Amino acid sequence: MADLPVELPIESQPVNSTRLRRFLVLAAIKLLKRIVPSHGALIFLPNNLCIKYGPLRNLSEASAMRFIAQHTSIPVPKVHCAFTRKGCTYIVTEKIKGEMLGIGWVKRSDDSKAKILQQLKGMVDEMRNIPPPRQGQRQGVCNVDGGSVWDSRLAGTSMYHGPFESVHDFHRYLRGGLDADPNHYSDVSELIALQDRAWPPPVFTHGDLSSLNILVRGDVIVGIIDWETAGWYPSYWEYTSASQVSPMNYFWREEIDKFLEPMPEALEMEKIRQKYFGDV
């Protein structure tokens, strides 16, 4: 485990991107995508490998998994290869044997749920305790490599946002650059006042801790997947993003306060932001 801040590059880098590996990955997709199990742009291979690919993938996801594996004990897929070609990103990882936590969650005993949520709480604590990288004099909001964060739920012309030199800059971006003004609606003024107050430094955040992204075997968490939104965010971001549950994951809202510190004021702040400044 690392206990010192580290310098990080801005651009996420390929992983094991040799000419042979790239050829094999592209050939596998072309030959197998019609005959092996696939889910969207995700192909599962027989030898415990899977390939995620497409224009909406990003190399920072591979960087995040490698970073978490290095700095924590959180189980994440091992990255074998990652590269970008013609606007598409390809990430080859191990396939973790487990099922999504959301499957059968409502049928689990209270004891089983408590065991899993306690493990998840410990993993979140590990992430939040990773020392932040040195990004000049201030710690900003960025992906694991210091570049743009990726989030399809944020309003904008692109799914890439930032990077931002500070939490304040991030907040100002989220509200479209709007500054305080006595003519604003009262809740918009409340939002700006909350966002502009002093905030602690960003913490490392998964950004999508849905029950669909947690893999289990029995009562043991064996994998956390889908790290494309991961990075350094305001301390409340894990909580508010987890609270944006999908219809398939609605029951999960009742469990969030059991593994994340409840932040009702931040949740209300985010509701105001989404009301006036976009988001899904």
What DSSP string describes 134-169? Answer: P-TTS--BB-TTSS-EE-TTS-SSSSEE--BSSHHH
What is the DSSP-derived secondary structure letter of residue 195?
H
Give percent of the chain above pLDDT 70. 92
What CATH number does domain 19-94 carry, 3.90.1200.10, 3.10.20.600, 3.50.50.60, 3.30.200.20? 3.30.200.20
Q: How confident is the model at residue 5 (pLDDT cuts 50, 70, 90)?
A: very low
Q: What residues form DSSP beta bridges with 19?
A: none
Q: Write the single-letter amino acid at 222.
A: V
User: What DSSP string runs through 106-121?
Assistant: GGS-HHHHHHHHHHHH
What's the rounded mean pLDDT across residues 250-255?
A: 93
Sign of CA dihedral 116, 74, 216, 225: positive
pTM: 0.91
- pLDDT score of 279 more than 90: no
Question: Please, what's the b/e burial string for 196-227 (b: 16 or more CB within 10 A of its CB; e: otherwise)?
Answer: eeebeebbbbbbbbbbbbbbbeeeebebbbbb
**pLDDT attached to residue 177:** 94
Query: What residues does each domain of the chain span?
Result: 19-94
Whole-angstrom distance, CA of residue 169 vs CA of residue 196: 9
Contact assessment for residue 166 and residue 137, using Cβ atoms and an 8 Å cutoff: no
**What is the token pair recorded at 58?**
């990003």
- pLDDT score of 34 more than 80: no
**pLDDT attached to residue 40:** 65
- Tell me the per-residue pLDDT of 50-85, one tens digit each, with 9 for 90 and over: 999 998 889 999 999 999 999 999 999 999 999 999
